[in-house]
Amino acid sequence: MHLDPLRKNLGNLEEFKRTEKLRDVKDALRRGQKVRFQEPEAVSTDLGLDWKLLYQRKKVITNPEDWWMECARYAVDVTLDPETAHPNLILSEDRKSVRWGDTRQNVPGNPGRFDTELCVLGCEGFTSGIHYWEVELGDVTGCKIGVCRDSVKRKGVSTQSPEEGYFTLRLLNELRYVTLTSCVTPIPLSETLQAVGIRLDNESGKVTFYDADNRSPLFTFMDFFMVEVRPFFYTYSRNPLRIRPVPG
C-alpha cells in the first residue's frame, strides 16, 4: 500500500526529466538558428596538378644536376673589398684573389680595415634572398672562408666564431677541414678539396658549404641573419685564394 505513492512520485520525476530534456533541445535549436557558420575554404581537387608539383619538388631534391642549376641561378659576382683587407694581404688587380705577404703594406688605417686578423671581406653585402659563389683553394695551405655579419669588429684579436658573427669553413692542412662552430667540428674527407661552393640563404638563415667539384654538401650553419652579411676570407698562405666563376 505504501509503495503506490512512491511509484507515483518516481513517475512524476521521470516525466519532469523528459520535459526538461525537450526544453533543452528546443533552446539549442533556437540558438543554432542565430549562429552563422563560416564557409569552408575551397581546396584543389585537381589531383593531377598536385602530383605534378610534388614530382617537381622531388625532382629538385633527388636530381643533383637540376639542384646544381638552381645554385647557378643564384650565382653572384663577388669581389674583394680592399678597404677591409689586412695590411699583409695582397689583392689581385681584378680583386678576385688574395694571398698573404710577409711585408706589411702602407695602407690607410680606416675603421673598416682588419688590423690584426688576416681577413678581407667581399664588397657585396646581403640582407635578403639566396646567393651562391665559389672559392678555388688551389695550393692554399691554410685559410677560412664563409660569411660574417658586417658588424663584426675589425680591430684586435677575434675567435671568429658564430657567437661573434662568423660562419666559416677552415682549411688546416691538405686533408683536414673543420667548421668553426661553438666547438670545432671536423669534416672527414677522402681527398683534397679543390673548390668550395658557398650558398647563403638569408630567408631561412642558412649558410651551406659544398664540394664545388663533386657537388656534395659539407656542412650547414643555421642562424637568423637580421643584419647585413658579407663574404668572408682569411688566409695565411703565400698561394692565392681565388673567387672563381660559377659554371652555368
pLDDT digits (tens, 9 = 90+) for 219-231: 999 987 778 999 9
**Residue 51 falls inside a structural domain:** no
Full domain range(s) for residue 168 = 64-244
**Residue 50 falls inside a structural domain:** no
Q: What is the mean pLDDT of residues 111-116?
A: 96
Report yes or no: 158 and 150 within 8 Å, Cβ to Cβ: no
Share of the chain above pLDDT 70, in %: 70
Q: Is the pLDDT of residue 153 over 60?
A: yes
Q: Where are the beta strands (DSSP E) in the chain?
A: 89-91, 97-100, 119-121, 130-136, 143-149, 166-171, 177-179, 185-187, 195-201, 206-211, 216-222, 229-235, 241-244
**Residue 64 carries which side chain, given as an amino acid letter?**
P
**Residue 42 falls inside a structural domain:** no
First to last CA, the chain: 105
Q: How sure is the predictor about 9, in pLDDT bands with cuts at 50, 70 and 90? A: low
Residue listed under C-alpha cell 672559392: 135
Residue 67 vs residue 110, higher pLDDT: 110
Torsion of CA 97, 145, 124, 77, to 10 degrees: 60
- Which of 69, 114, 51 has its CA nearest to residue 248? 69
**Residue 231 falls inside a structural domain:** yes
Quick one: pLDDT at residue 233? 98
Q: Is the pLDDT of residue 240 over 90?
A: yes
pTM (two decimals): 0.72
Dist. CA 241–CA 137, nearest whole Å: 5
Q: What is the CATH number of the domain that holds 172?
A: 2.60.120.920
**Residue 136 falls inside a structural domain:** yes
Q: What Rg value do the Cα atoms of the chain yield, rounded?
A: 33
**Residue 5 falls inside a structural domain:** no
**Residue 93 falls inside a structural domain:** yes
**Residue 170 falls inside a structural domain:** yes
Split into its structural domains, the chain has a count of 1
Angle between helix 47-62 and helix 64-73 axes, rounded to 10 deg: 90
Backbone angles phi, psi at 214, to 5 degrees: -100, 5
Q: Is the pLDDT of residue 248 over 80?
A: no
Dist. CA 222–CA 202, nearest whole Å: 10
Q: Is the pLDDT of residue 245 over 80?
A: yes
